Amino acid sequence: MAGHSKPRRSRVLLVQLAALAALLALPEILVRGGMVSRFALAPTSEIAVRFWHLVVDGTIIEPLLETLLLIFITFVIVALTGLVIGFCFWRSDLSRRAFEPLMLTFYAIPGVIFYPILLVILGIGYPSIMGLGFILGVVPVIMGVQNALNGVNPVLGQTATVLGASTVAKYFKVILPAAMPGIGGALRLGFSYVVIGIISGQFLVSTGGLGKLVANYYDRFQSANVYAAAVFIILLAAAINAVLERLR
């Protein structure tokens, strides 16, 4: 709004730090003060100790590697499928008109409801977990790729044609690079959804990975460990997001 000056960076940082301090202090006060049960919440200090053990004694390594591997494989499949289908939608008005409403409806559906179907079709194991990651991740990539290609100035394609580009050169040297910022954004969004899908799948089916780790602690009422593992997943997601933002 006009007339509002931008707050200083140091003030923004101060507010952020104050919010973080409050967030960290709250569990400590609520649990130690007896306002919330230890089964529901653990004091921050205990979560910090459990987090340290989780990382230092290597408990986290195997589940982490398993989760990262599933995320990586699923994301590669999501990216390739999303790029191909997004490109086809952009090229074909008919397929776009036919499927776009379905895709948009898909956004509004909680992806987890597909999990029982995936379990029945693919069985308990990696395929169903990857299936959930795929279902959640592929739609934003398709829509994002299509939007990114739609956003490319048509003059660029015409210029390439007049300059003598072959169809392949036109797409690979002009159109796709021009759409790259949007495609990068779509892939980043898709990646985030794949992470959610894989960890949720592992939590639900409990065959391995970080999701199973959290589920095991949860089943044993080890609330400090549940929160420690959750903090690890949050930090992992933030780190991946930061790396993707850098790449973009």
Binding site for other proteins (CB under 8 A): 153, 155-156, 158-166, 169, 173-174, 177-178
- 9 residue type, one letter: R
CB 67 within 8 A of CB 209: yes
Smaller CB distance to other proteins: residue 173 or 220?
173
CB 132 within 8 A of CB 201: yes
Q: For the CB of residue 89, give the shortest distance to other proteins in the complex, in Å.
A: 22
Cα angle value 228/234/236 (rounded, 5°) = 105
Smaller CB distance to other proteins: residue 127 or 185?
185
CB 190 within 8 A of CB 82: yes
Q: For the CB of residue 151, give the shortest distance to other proteins in the complex, in Å.
A: 14
Q: For the CB of residue 164, give the shortest distance to other proteins in the complex, in Å.
A: 4
Calpha distance 95→189 (Å, rounded):
23
Q: For the CB of residue 167, give the shortest distance to other proteins in the complex, in Å.
A: 11
Q: For the CB of residue 163, give the shortest distance to other proteins in the complex, in Å.
A: 3
DSSP-derived secondary structure for 104-123: HHHHHS-GGGGHHHHHHHH-
Smaller CB distance to other proteins: residue 37 or 166?
166
Smaller CB distance to other proteins: residue 37 or 158?
158
Smaller CB distance to other proteins: residue 12 or 169?
169
Q: For the CB of residue 157, give the shortest distance to other proteins in the complex, in Å.
A: 10
Residue with tokens 């940082």, as numbered in its chain:
13
Count the Cβ atoms, other than its own, within 10 Å of residue 210.
26
CB 186 within 8 A of CB 145: yes
Smaller CB distance to other proteins: residue 37 or 159?
159
Residue with tokens 């509004």, as numbered in its chain:
108
